[in-house]
């Protein structure tokens, strides 16, 4: 039962990525020279023009803060960031959250099963 549930979640997550309509003509350009972060997103999606031009002073910012700004820029124009723009830090954090939830679910169910066995065994 647990395996089926985990497989269902896995296939559902792939389905969510597949259902997101791909932008037809969107160009992105992100440059980071350590002092300034420039984000440009231009193009057209579902008949609507998209223009985002941001330049930020990121002197002293850590990598995660920069990646967060990039992610929020894509979400502001209702786009999913391209895979090459998603940092390993964000993927690792999302994986850690999913792993923790899975371990919590399995732990609670296992504890419940142990309690039931002690109560109902003669």
Q: Give yes or no: residues 92 and 82 share one domain.
A: no
Q: Give yes or no: residues 72 and 115 share one domain.
A: no
Report yes or no on 11 lying in a domain. no
pLDDT at 68: 84
- Write out the residue range of the structural domain in which residue 72 sits: 21-86
Say how many domains are in the chain.
Answer: 2
pLDDT at 23: 46
User: What is the Cα–Cα distance from 52 to 43, expressed in whole angstroms?
Assistant: 10
122 residues of the chain, pLDDT tens digit each:
678 877 777 777 766 665 555 546 888 888 889 899 999 999 888 778 888 999 999 999 988 888 888 888 988 888 877 777 766 767 788 889 999 999 999 999 988 888 887 665 55
Report yes or no on 60 lying in a domain. yes
Q: Give yes or no: residues 61 and 94 share one domain.
A: no
pLDDT at 70: 87
């Amino acid at each position: 039962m647990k395996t089926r549930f985990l497989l269902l979640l896995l296939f559902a997550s792939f389905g969510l990525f597949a259902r997101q309509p791909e932008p037809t003509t969107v160009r992105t350009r992100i440059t980071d020279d350590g002092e300034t972060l420039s984000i440009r997103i231009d193009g057209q999606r579902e008949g609507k023009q998209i223009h985002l031009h941001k330049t930020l002073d990121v002197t002293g910012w850590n990598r995660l803060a920069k990646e967060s700004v990039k992610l929020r820029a894509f979400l502001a124009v209702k786009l999913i960031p391209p895979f090459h723009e998603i940092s390993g830090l964000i993927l690792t954090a999302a994986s850690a959250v999913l792993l923790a939830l899975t371990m919590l679910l399995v732990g609670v169910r296992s504890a419940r099963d142990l309690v039931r066995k002690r109560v109902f065994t003669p």
